[in-house]
Amino acid sequence: MVPLFFVQNFIDYLASEKRFSDHTLLAYKKDVEQFIEFSGIQSEKHVVEINSKLIRGWIVSLMDDGLEASSVNRKLSTLRTLFKWLMREGVIDKNPMQTVKGPKNSKRLPSFAQQVEVKSSNISPLFQDDFDGLRDLLMFEMFYQTGIRSSELIELKDNRVSSNQIRVIGKRNKERIIPIATELSQLIEEYREKRAEIDPNPEYFFLLNSAKKLYPKFVYRKINNYLGEATGLEKKSPHVLRHTFATHMLNNGASLEVLKEILGHANLAATQIYTHNSFSQLTNIYSQSHPRGQKK
């Protein structure tokens, strides 16, 4: 247990003013507690003694423990937010993060399924013809057809799902509207009919067969299993279906700006990772689009 007064106050600040999700708050709390344990500070008066050298030492320790650069940088992002808050609160008068730079992230392409692997004719037979099977199929299709995050799917309220769109509350408590296709809309209606037998007036859209709300491990386990049956991917998670959605959208002509809005990215740079069309895809686009590239 960390014996410092500001940890819970910091988390309360993130919850009330930044409106971070419960999942993000837990991650921030763990990061702060891990850094405090490394630093060895025992009371609030020692906080002013934290310097950039100590923080760099923590970075080295994390890297030595095998943590990837992206994870280290996420933890440093937590510290940046923390020390800005401590400055605002008057606990410190100098920000030790100002001269700290994180390790360079390796540029890895996101893992995604091929279009043929997630065709309806290949996916639908994997699911049983009962409430659980219909719900699982709808979860799979919702991930693939909307690019929704796992936490967003779990927290999706029933009154935010209509026949032609879903209204998602994403990061920073921002709402975005995602259109849905007729096929998905029909699947939603079928699911609602079966769900009414379990709970006729649910608060959350997706439910367990016990009428309780879904939870992260359940969703991960289900999607991991179905992706394992349908694809040869090493990584099999709800986020892989989000990557798959984004990749297939771009490969079929969607613009980065549109994709950014649907995915709920804060800036275009986060969306540009999906611009990894294969050379054959680029060749096809060129041959269809450029007048001298078109076949006679």
String of DSSP letters for 26-86: HHHHHHHHHHHHHHT--SGGGGGG--HHHHHHHHHHHHHTT--HHHHHHHHHHHHHHHHHH
Looking at residue 73, what is its pLDDT?
Answer: 92
14 secondary structure, DSSP code = I
29 catalytic per annotation? no
Looking at residue 39, what is its pLDDT?
Answer: 85
CB 166 within 8 A of CB 178: yes
CB 239 within 8 A of CB 273: no
Looking at residue 290, what is its pLDDT?
Answer: 65
Residues of the chain under the 50 pLDDT cut: 1-3, 277-280, 296
215 catalytic per annotation? no
Query: What's the CA gap between 92 and 98, in Å, rounded?
Result: 13
Q: Positive or negative, the Cα torsion across 22, 140, 178, 281?
A: positive
149 catalytic per annotation? yes
Looking at residue 280, what is its pLDDT?
Answer: 46
265 catalytic per annotation? yes
Q: Which of 75, 135, 149, 248 is catalytic?
A: 149
Looking at residue 268, what is its pLDDT?
Answer: 85
The residue to which tokens 């500001």 are assigned: 6
pTM of the entire structure? 0.64
176 catalytic per annotation? no
> Which domains can be identified in the chain, with CATH numbers?
6-99 (1.10.150.130), 115-286 (1.10.443.10)
290 catalytic per annotation? no
Q: Backbone dihedral region of 19: left (phi > 0), alpha (psi from -120 to 50 degrees) or beta? A: left
Query: What's the CA gap between 167 and 157, in Å, rounded?
Result: 9
